[in-house]
Chain A
Amino acid sequence: DAGVIQSPRHEVTEMGQEVTLRCKPISGHNSLFWYRQTMMRGLELLIYFNNNVPIDDSGMPEDRFSAKMPNASFSTLKIQPSEPRDSAVYFCASKEQGLFTEAFFGQGTRLTVV
């Protein structure tokens, strides 16, 4: 398997524009996580899906953020409208069901909002 695949790797956009980040989890993994990483706050969990259903979205910072998982092989994180303070690296991770399984991370999307 190619691992967790995220696209794009880098995104530069102007304030106010809509941004969509994409993630393809590892095949067979039914848990998917979106994280945001900044220098100040480290890695923060934004949302967790299990079997395509959002279980915990308490980490989503504002209503401008939304995430979907229409099927087991695809998820999106959308920011609309984007703001400069949204600039960060966004990671997607997936894991198999179970207490003793480890999470695998994608390479991340570096978002810059100017």
Chain B
Amino acid sequence: KQEVTQIPAALSVPEGENLVLNCSFTDSAIYNLQWFRQDPGKGLTSLLLIQSSQREQTSGRLNASLDKSSGRSTLYIAASQPGDSATYLCAPRGSGGYQKVTFGIGTKLQVIP
């Protein structure tokens, strides 16, 4: 059974800082990994999808890396802004069966102006 851990659970940083969110998963047999953002009271918004054959994926100020063999992914946010405040969720997709997606609890980020 896939288990996903995200560290830290919560993070508070001043505006402008670069930051790293960590995700680890126990089963390295994955097809891809998706990072989501969730604003309070809202649904999930997909940020990046990184395939198992990729090492990195970039979108604007966001960069996701994947080390499949060690079961780790990081989400790097450059020059953080107050609008980045949200909960960030990591979701690896397994390669067995029907490729089930398992979510971490998330990292709650607050960027202080």
Q: Which residues of A contact B (CB under 8 A)?
A: 4, 33, 35, 42-43, 45, 48, 50, 55-56, 91, 93, 99-100, 102-108, 110
Question: What are the 8 A-B residue pairs with the smallest beta carbon separation, nearest first?
Answer: A43-B103, A105-B44, A42-B105, A107-B43, A105-B43, A102-B49, A99-B31, A102-B46
Segment 39-69 of B: residues with Cβ below 8 Å from A? 41-46, 49, 51
CB-defined contacts of B97 to chain A, threshold 8 Å: 56
Given contacts A99-B32, A103-B46, A103-B91, list 4 more A-B pairs with CB under 8 A: A35-B103, A102-B49, A105-B46, A107-B42
Chain B residues engaging chain A, CB cutoff 8 angstroms: 31-32, 34, 36, 41-46, 49, 51, 89, 91, 93, 97-106
Q: Is the CB of B34 within 8 A of A91?
A: no
Which of B41, B42, B51, B100 has a CB less than 8 Å from the CB of A48?
B100
A34 to chain B, nearest CB (A): 12
Chain A contacts of B89 at CB under 8 A? 43
